[in-house]
């Protein structure tokens, strides 16, 4: 038995969102009578942290404590329209919509406070702790709860805002095809170290090193969680998962999670991540989106590492032990490529 070590590299420019129809998302923000704020979305949080990030964005824009913001993503009947949770678009598209909605609500909140304090709204600021005060005179202040109560019961106004984000339309140049399909890219580079058993074709992934440029990491723990879980999914797609193990034949498809293979907890790959922050101009507080791209570069990096280890180039997924072993047999044995230090 010989175990061959291999290293593979891949990098990615990942477009955030899509171009189709301007890829819009909407948000509605309103205050409750006691000065809490509701953010209504129909964007779905499927575990990636949409609720946490939009809550932070709303809190930052409104100038109110994050504890006083609630995000309701429950229902596409009652929430304003969203194109969906895909294409790593949530933070960017929905976040921008939330900023616009929250900014409008803040404007009304400041006007309501100004009426109570008998000053100009432009002279007011929030302290982020639940108070609105006159700039340079912190003692002349009103709580946001008092402001909301006054707006609701005295002034007869709502503290609310509407927001939509739509990317600028970009038609293709009929002569050249030139267009700007997306406005914002995230980037990553990733190195996979693995071992190939040349008698069985089995691949063991030993280590992943990656650098991700995702704009500002609005919630660093959520970003890390996405990148670690996503890399696992990338390894899974690269080496395990398929509904058609004999593609293009359709037979012997898996029928449960025992036969639809995914790496188990005994196959955790240590993953060192460097998150680089280059805030994007049109992104909410600079945050792009680490969604899909956290899995994608793992696939070519694994394929490249297998080639580096045994000289077998697999060009469709998953790269099963059988494909590796057949490749080794067809070329008359493992052919380790240059060692990359």
Partner 1 sequence: MVAVDTYPTMAEAAGALAEGSRYLGGGTIVMRAVNYGDQSFDRIVRAAQVDRGVGSDAGGIRIGAATTMADILSAPDLVFLHPVARSIGGPAIRNMATVGGNLFAENPYGDMAVALLALDAQVVMTSGQSQPIESFLADRDHARGIVGAVIVPRVDQHAFRFRKVSRVKPKGVSVMSIAANLRHGDPRVAFGNMAPVPTRARGAERALAQGVNDSSITAACAACTEGLQPADDALASAWYRAEVAPVHLKRLLLNEGAV
Partner 2 sequence: MTKKPISFMLNDAEIGIFVGEGAPLIDELRRNAGDLTPKQGCNQGTCGACTVLIDGVPHLSCITLAETVDGKRIDTTGGLAGGPNLHALQDAFIQGFAAQCGFCTSGMLMAAKALLDANPNPSRDQVIEAISGNLCRCTGYEPIVDAILAAAARLQGRAV
The Cα–Cα gap between 157 and 285 comes to 29
The Cα–Cα gap between 32 and 115 comes to 19
Give the nearer residue to partner 1 in terms of CB position, either 109 or 203. 203
Q: How far is the CB of 237 from partner 2 (least distance, A)?
A: 12
Which DSSP category does 99 fall into? H
Among 118, 175, 251, 315, binds partner 1 (CB under 8 A): 251
Backbone angles phi, psi at 336, to 5 degrees: -60, 135
Q: Which does 294 bind (CB under 5 to 8 A by kind): partner 1, partner 2, none?
A: none
Q: How far is the CB of 269 from partner 2 (least distance, A)?
A: 8
Report CA torsion sign: 27, 30, 159, 80: positive
126: alpha, beta or left? (left if phi > 0; alpha if psi -120 to 50): beta
Q: Is 2 exposed, middle or buried (0-12, 13-18, 19+ CB in 10 A)?
A: exposed
Q: Is 75 in the site for partner 1 (CB under 8 A)?
A: no
Q: How far is the CB of 246 from partner 1 (least distance, A)?
A: 7
Give the nearer residue to partner 1 in terms of CB position, either 120 or 204. 204
Which residues of this chain interact with partner 2, rule CB under 8 A?
A: 46-49, 221-222, 224-225, 228-233, 256-258, 262, 264-266, 268-269, 271
Task: Please calculate the CA angle 32-34-37 and round it to the nearest 5 degrees.
Answer: 40
Give the nearer residue to partner 2 in terms of CB position, either 229 or 279. 229
Among 255, 281, 315, 330, binds partner 1 (CB under 8 A): 255
Residue 182-201 contact track with partner 1, rule CB under 8 A, x = bound: -----------------xxx
The Cα–Cα gap between 290 and 301 comes to 18
**Chain contacts with partner 1 (rule: CB under 8 A):** 1, 199-202, 240, 245-246, 251-255, 258-267, 320-322, 325
């Amino acid at each position: 038995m010989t175990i061959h070590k291999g290293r593979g590299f891949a990098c990615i420019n990942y477009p955030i969102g899509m171009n189709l129809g301007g890829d819009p998302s909407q948000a509605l923000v309103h205050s409750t009578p006691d000065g809490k704020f509701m953010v209504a979305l129909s964007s779905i949080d499927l575990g990636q942290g949409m609720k946490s990030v939009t809550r932070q964005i709303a809190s930052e824009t409104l100038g109110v404590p994050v504890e006083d913001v609630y995000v309701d993503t429950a229902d596409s009947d009652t929430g304003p329209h969203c194109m969906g949770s895909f294409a790593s678009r949530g933070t960017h598209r929905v976040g921008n919509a939330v900023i616009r909605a929250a900014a409008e609500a803040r404007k009304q909140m400041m006007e309501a406070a100004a009426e109570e304090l008998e000053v100009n709204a432009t002279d007011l600021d929030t302290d982020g702790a639940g108070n609105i005060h006159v700039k340079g005179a912190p003692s002349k202040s009103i709580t946001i709860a008092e402001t909301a109560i006054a707006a609701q019961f005295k002034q007869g106004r709502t503290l609310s805002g509407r927001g939509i984000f739509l990317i600028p339309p970009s038609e293709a140049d009929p002569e050249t095809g030139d267009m700007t399909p997306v406005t914002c890219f995230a980037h990553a580079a990733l190195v996979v170290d693995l071992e190939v058993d040349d008698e069985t074709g089995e691949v063991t992934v030993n280590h992943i090193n990656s650098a991700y440029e995702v704009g500002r990491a609005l919630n660093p723990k959520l970003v890390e969680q996405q990148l670690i879980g996503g890399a696992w999914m990338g390894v899974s797609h690269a080496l395990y998962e398929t509904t058609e193990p004999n593609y293009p034949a359709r037979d012997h498809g898996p029928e449960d999670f025992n036969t639809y293979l995914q790496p188990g907890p005994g196959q955790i790959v240590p993953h060192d991540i460097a998150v680089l922050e280059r805030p994007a101009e049109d992104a909410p507080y600079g945050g792009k989106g680490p969604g899909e791209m956290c899995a994608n570069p793992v696939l070519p990096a694994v394929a490249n590492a297998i080639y580096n280890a045994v000289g077998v180039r697999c060009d469709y997924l998953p790269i099963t032990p059988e494909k590796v072993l057949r490749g080794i047999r067809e070329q008359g044995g493992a052919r380790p490529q240059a060692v990359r230090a």
